[in-house]
């Protein structure tokens, strides 16, 4: 069975790690594409989302989005939206729910997201 929105981005989290889940249906196919085109960077990004999704020390390649993209309402909560640059144009966007220890992958792609154009 193929993964869908709400399913975990396997494997399950170890103690103290965030539960990474698909936050949108397009993120499922996008994640597959990122993994096939940039497997090493995808693996590093997955570990970052799992262990330190909202680092205190932001970088150009891993940071919270700005302006109207900085937060998204999900399930009655206003969650911060973060980005990891996985290739020159490829990005992962995800929401961090600190209280629930969950990360929702809402965008994954090897091309630059249109929302930031």
Name all domains of the chain by residue range, CATH numbers in brackets: 19-116 (3.30.2310.20)
Read off the pLDDT of residues 9-30 as tens digits, 9 standing for 90 and up. 877 889 999 999 999 999 999 9
Has residue 116 got a pLDDT over 60?
Answer: no
- Tens digit of pLDDT for each residue in 51-99? 999 999 999 999 999 999 999 999 999 999 999 999 989 999 999 999 9
Residue 8 has pLDDT above 80, yes or no: no
Contact present, 10 and 35 (Cβ < 8 Å): no
Q: What are the residues whose beta carbons fall under 8 Å from the beta carbon of 41, sequence distance 6 or more?
A: 34, 86, 87, 90
């Amino acid at each position: 069975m193929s993964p869908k929105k709400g399913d975990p981005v396997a494997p399950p989290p170890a103690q103290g790690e965030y539960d990474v889940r698909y936050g949108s249906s397009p993120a499922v196919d996008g994640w597959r594409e990122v993994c096939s085109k940039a497997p090493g960077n995808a693996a590093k990004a997955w570990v970052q989302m799992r262990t330190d999704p909202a680092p205190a020390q932001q970088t150009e390649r891993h940071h919270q989005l700005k302006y109207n993209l900085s937060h998204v309402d999900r399930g009655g909560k206003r969650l911060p939206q973060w980005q990891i640059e996985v290739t020159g144009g490829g990005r992962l966007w995800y929401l961090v729910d600190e209280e629930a220890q969950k990360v929702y992958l809402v965008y994954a792609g090897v091309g630059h997201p249109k929302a930031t154009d």
